Structure 1
Amino acid sequence: MKFKKVFSDKLIHCYAVLHLQNADHDYLIVASEEDAACYAYNLDNHYEKTTVWENIGGTMTMVQIPNTLDFLATQRFYPGFNASQCIIVREHFNGIGWDKKVVGFFPYVHRFDIVPKGPHTYWFVGCSIANSKKSVDDWSDPGKIWIGEFNDTLNQIQELRALDVKLFKNHGYYRVPKQNFSFITAEEGIFKLNYPSSGSDWVLEKVSDTETSDIAMCDVDNDGKSEFLTIEGFHGPYLSVLNACFEPVIHTEPLTPFGHAIWGGQLEGEPGFIFGYRAGNRDLLWLTLNNSQLKYTLIDKNVGSSNVLTYFKNHESFILSANRESSEIAVYLVSNG
C-alpha cells in the first residue's frame, strides 16, 4: 500500500474531522480544539475553502444530521479538558455556508453521537470525560454517559438523563455500523452500549476490564469475525489487537506514546487499521496483520494526528488526517503498490 499527500492546509491544533456529503455536495470539515476556526473544503471544487466559524473552536466531535448538510458539533471544550462551558451547536447549511444555532450546554462532553430512531428523531449519546474538574490533572469526579432524543425539527435534545454509571477518563466512542450498539472506553474498560429496542431500555455491559482510551473494529484477518484495535491506557503507549471475544491476541511494547487517531476498515480492498500517536515519533501508520503479527506501513512521519477518516471519490481512496501536533490538515491518496 502506498500513500501520497495530495492536499495540505494549516489550522492550529486541528482536531475534529467530518466527511459531509449528500447527492449534491461533498465537503471535508475540520475544526480546531483551540480558540480557533472550523473550515470546510469542497471536494467538488479543488478543496475550495469556506470558513464555518472563526475564533471559537474547542471542538472534539462533529456529527452529520442524516440526509442533510447540517451537522452538530461541540464547541468550547478547550485544551486541558477545561470544558465546563462546552456546548453543542447545530450548523445549518444555507446553500453557501453554515449558520449556527445553539442546541444546549453540555459540560465536559467529549464524544457524542445521534443514531436514527424515526422521522426527524434520533437517539442521543453523550460521553463526558469528567463531571467536574478543579485542574487539568483532577480526575476525582468521573464522567457520565448521557442519553436522550434529538428532535431535528425542534433542534432540541429531549428527555436527557445520565445512565447509572460513572467512568474515569471516559474518552473513546465507536458506533458499530449497521448494528444497534456502540462501544465506549474508559479507565474501567470497554463497554457495549445497546440502544433501546422492542420496549427495552438502554443496556450497558462491560466486555473488557482493561483500561482503554480508544477502539476501532475490522475483520483484519478475513475470517468472518471482527477484530478490535485498542489504545491501552489513557492516551496510552500500548496497542492491542483483540479477537471477537475481546481476548488479546497481540500486545505491543510501549512504543507509541499519546496514542490517539484510530480507524478500522478496508482501503483498496485490504483490511487494516489507521493509527496515529501524538508524542515521540508522532507517526501516522497503516497496520495490517501478517502471520499473527502487526505490520506497520508509514503514511506520514512526525505529524501527531488527532483524528482520521477515509473516503472514496472519483474511484479513488483517500485519508483525511487532522495532524494536530504539526497544525496541518492533510489528505492522502491511497493506492496499491
Structure 2
Amino acid sequence: MKITKKKLDDIKRCYAVSSMYYDDVNHYIFASEDPDVICESFEGEDFEFDCELWKKAGGCMSLIPIPNKEKEFLAIQEFYMKVSPSLAKVVWGKVVNGKWEYKDILQIPYIHRFDIYRVGNVNYFIVATIAELKDSKEDWSRAGKIYVGVLPETPEGELKVQVLKDGMFRNHGYSRDYDEDGSVCGYFGCDDGLYKVKPPIDLGDEWSIEKVMNGMIGEVSLIDIDNDGIKEIMTIEAFHENKIHIHKMIDGEYRKVYTYENEIDFAHSLVSGNLRGVPIFIAGVRRLDAELFYVQYIDGKFVTKVIDKGVEPANLHLINEGNRDLILSANHTANEAVVYIVED
C-alpha cells in the first residue's frame, strides 16, 4: 500500500472528524475542541475547501449525519473537561436557504459520545456522558451514564431521553458495529468493562444491554481481522492510558492475542475497517511518539506499521472510495486537519 499525507488546513486543537455525502460528493469535516475555533468542511476528489460549518462553537467531540436526511447532522459542542458546571450540548445542524443553521436540542453535563441508529423508519438516539458531574478535570467520583431516546423528525421536535445504564465511571470508549444479521449495535467502554447495546426492532420495546468483557476499557473497535468469521476487539486500556490490545474469542471468552509493543502514553483513538480490501485496526497516541499506526493480520501473524509520528491523532475516520481509501485524522498536537490517502 502507498500512503500519502495531505494536510488540509491548520486547526488549533483539532479533535473531531467525520464525513457527510451530499450533492453527489463526499464532504470531509474537522472540528476543534478549543473554545471559539472553527469547524471546516472539504469536498471531492481534491479535498477543496467547502465551507466553515461554524466559526465559534468549540468543544466538539462528535459529529454524526442524520440517517435518511440530506444536509442535516447532530454534533456535540461546548464539551470542556475543565469547565464545571458543564456546558456540553447536542446541536442539530441543517442547511436553510443555503446556510448552515443550528438549534440546541439536548443539554446534559459532560455529553461525550453519541450516535443515531436507523431501524426501520425510526432514528434511535443514544448518548454517553463521561461523568455525571465534575468538580475539576481530575474528579471522577461521579459515574457517567448511557441515555437513549427517539430522535424527532425536525429540530423543533422534543428529544426525550431516559437512562439505560448508570454507574459507568470514565465512560469514554465507543464504537458502532453490526451483528451478523446486519442489525446495528454499539459498544461502550468504561472502568467497569465493555458493554454491548442494541436498539429495539419495534418502537416502544426495550433496548438491550449486556456486558461482554471485563477490564478498564478506554476505547474500543471491532473487526474480523483474521477472517475466521468472528470479530476481534481492539481496546485502549485504561482511559487515556498506555496499553493497546487485540482480544480474540477463544473457548467462549475474549483473550488477549496482541499487544502494541511501542512505549506509549495517552492512547486515545481507534477505528477499524478495510484498507485496500484488507481488514485493519488503526490507532492513535497523543504523547511520547504521538504516532498513528495500523495493525493487519497477514500470513498468520499480526503486522504493525507506523504511518506518522509527532501528530497526536485525537480521532480518526476511515472512508473507502473505490480507487482509494482515506484515513481522516484530527491531528491534535500538530494542530492540523489531515487526510492520509491509501492507494495500491
Report TM bin, short chain.
Answer: over 0.9
Unaligned regions of 5+ residues in structure 1, if any? none
Alignment correspondent of 2:209: 204
Equivalent runs, 1:21-36 vs 2, <5 Å: 21-22=21-22, 24-35=24-35, 36=37
SS, match of residue 140 in structure 1: coil
**Does the alignment pair 1:180 with 2:164?**
no
- Segments of 4+ moved more than 4 angstroms: 290-293
RMSD (CA atoms): 2.0
Q: Note the 1:91-170 alignment, pairs <5 A.
A: 91-94=93-96, 96-119=98-121, 121-156=122-157, 158-170=159-171
Q: After the TM superposition, which residues 203-242 of structure 1 pair with which residues of structure 2 at under 5 Å, given as runs?
A: 203-242=208-247
Do the aligned partners of 1:238 and 1:254 also contact (CA within 8 Å) in 2?
no
1:265 is the counterpart of 2:270: no
Matches of 2:212 and 2:160 in 1, distance apart?
Answer: 27
Change (3 A) 1:285 1:96: farther
TM-score (ref. length: structure 2): 0.91
Q: Using the alignment, how far apart are the partners of 1:305 and 1:111 within structure 2?
A: 17
Aligned to 1:20: 20
Alpha-carbon separation, structure 1, partners of 2:111 and 2:263:
29
- In structure 1, the residue matched to 2:340 is 332
Q: Which runs of 5+ in 2 are unaligned?
A: none
- Give me the whole-angstrom Cα distance separating, in 1, the residues matched to 2:170 and 2:200: 25
The offset of 1:3, in angstroms, is 1.2
Question: Could you say which residue in structure 1 is the equivalent of 2:79?
Answer: 77
Return the TM-score normalized by structure 1. 0.93
Shift of 1:220: 0.9
In the aligned structure 2, how far is the partner of 1:156 from the partner of 1:148?
A: 13
How far the C-alpha of 1:96 sits from its partner, in A, is 4.2
Q: Quick check: 177-186 or 11-20, which moved more?
A: 177-186
Deviation at 1:117, TM superposition (A): 3.4
Aligned length: 335
Q: Out of 270, 282, 297, which is 1:274 matched to?
A: 282
Q: CA deviation at 1:314?
A: 6.1
Distance 1:205 1:93 in 2: 38
1:12-34 C-alpha deviation (Å, 9 max, x unpaired):
01111111003534211111001
CA distance in 2, matches of 1:221, 1:52: 39
2:65 match: 64
Alpha-carbon deviations, 1:52-76, whole Å to 9, x = none? Answer: 1112210101110123121100110
